[in-house]
Amino acid sequence: MSLTATSARSRARSLFLGGAVALALVAAPAASATPVVVDVADGTNPATIAAKYGVVPDQVFTEVANAFSADVTAKQLAKLDADGSVQEVNPDGVVAHIDRPTFQLARGARFRPGTKPYLPPAQFEQYVAPEIRRIGANLSPTADIDGIDDRRVDADIAIVDSGVDPFNPDLNVVGGFDCVKGPRSDRGWGDRGDGHGTATASLAAAIDNGIGTVGAAPGARIWSVRVADPFGNITDSALLCGLEYVSHNRSIEVANLSLAGTGNQTGPCLDPRRWWRGSYGRRSGIDKIHQRICRLTNRGITVVAAAGNDAADASAYTPASYDEVIAVSAFADFDGLPGGLSPTYPECPPTEADDRFATFSNFGRVIDVSAPGVCSFTAGPGGQYGYVDGTSFAAPLVSGGAALLLSRRHNLSPERVRAQIRESAKPGPIAGDTDGFAEGILDVSTF
């Protein structure tokens, strides 16, 4: 990956209402230490390799990788690099990023610190937003949107993001994990303050309870997996930790990745037994993040990824470029109806037009489906409600759609979920999308 970053040692992490996850240890930082991720061969214990060279790991991974992360000295790095049981040693740099959202506060909304349960402002009796109506969630028999919290969607969604506010009464947050290195804040794995993770969770699964807003899969269980630091940067070890947590947690069925990075996208999913035995060779240019996503989908977890917000070809962005994920672009919808008749509202970007492909959205052949992602009405941390823009907020609508399908048939494979979402989509092309690849518009009305 093109960016690198260093960070302080992690503190011991504890799990809240979830499955066991990678071990995190504490040690005094070594002089001139370099943060790395070390992948070792199948059948070799990563902790044993670390101990062999006096390395104290931050975390040890065994689910989506056979690896450990640590800060190492130059001497330790040389020894690890020469060890025949070590497949790769990579810098623990920034591999993905979450754009800090511009949260356009809804009129009448007010901020309330997220330290205890609270109610949204009285002005916000439940609003079924245009994006929810445009994808047909209000017609879905499984979503059952009627303002009465009597039947929550029976599915589990991991929001691999910046953290989700656990105190919001409009969200069914059941647990989570903090994968970010450094001193942990009093929010733990909760929202780090910019609202990105909370807004994402709200669009996916806000409860149909008569207050605030409602999501595509109302009341689905939310797992907050915090991987982004306060600047929105996601390191290799943090993303690996997040994927490891999702894989360990046997409840999770959908993983929403509203994040994007760049890097090499080399080849298809490889046989992990051959990879970890070294059959593909050392330092062969294999995209390791891709192979981790492969292992996640092989365990039956549907992965949804935002296309990215650079108005560029999404084939150069990860994880959207991976065939195994459901990649989501964004378009504008201001009235919940096709036709492009609605004017731009004061809260919405004047550069965007109703029923047109978002000017910022990435595009291309890797996109599976499009969903509204302009001026989306959603919840933020601390009792805020407002509007956000980005493919980050189109993706959770698709994650909600996947949750609707899985709540009816929990054994659906990720491949089948992806196929059903593509097959049920309203045919494209979307006005303004001129790339020649006409992805359809998400439609969950029959789910």
- 368-391: per-residue pLDDT in tens? 999 999 999 999 877 778 899 999
Check whether residue 78 and residue 170 sit in a common domain.
no
For 310, counting Cβ atoms within 10 Å of its Cβ (0-12 exposed, 13-18 middle, 19+ buried), the class is middle
Q: Confirm whether 4 is domain-assigned.
A: no
Same domain? For 114 and 61 the reply is no
Residues 28 and 171 both lie in one domain? no
User: Are both 190 and 328 inside the same structural domain?
Assistant: yes
- Out of 72, 94, 116, a domain closes at 94
Same domain, 144 and 214: yes
164/183 same-domain check: yes
Whether residue 258 lies inside any domain: the answer is: yes
Q: Residue 17 falls within a domain, yes or no?
A: no
pLDDT for the residue numbered 225 = 96
| 8 in a structural domain | no
CB contact at 8 A, 404 and 143: yes
Range of the domain at 45: 23-94
Compare 160 and 189 and report the one with higher pLDDT. 160
Q: How many beta carbons lie within 10 A of that of residue 188, not counting itself?
A: 16
- Tell me: do 110 and 80 sit in the same domain: no
Of 94, 118, 141, the residue that ends a domain is: 94
- Which residues fall within 8 angstroms of residue 443, CB to CB, at 6 or more apart? 135, 136, 424, 425, 426
- Do both 110 and 253 map to the same domain? yes
Same domain flag for 311 and 246: yes
Q: Are residues 87 and 203 in the same domain?
A: no
d(CA 144, CA 153): 9
Does 265 share its domain with 321? yes
The pTM of the full predicted model, rounded to 2 decimals, is: 0.88
Which tens digits make up the pLDDT trace of 75-126? Answer: 999 999 999 999 889 999 999 999 888 777 665 554 443 434 444 444 457 8
Domain count for the chain: 2
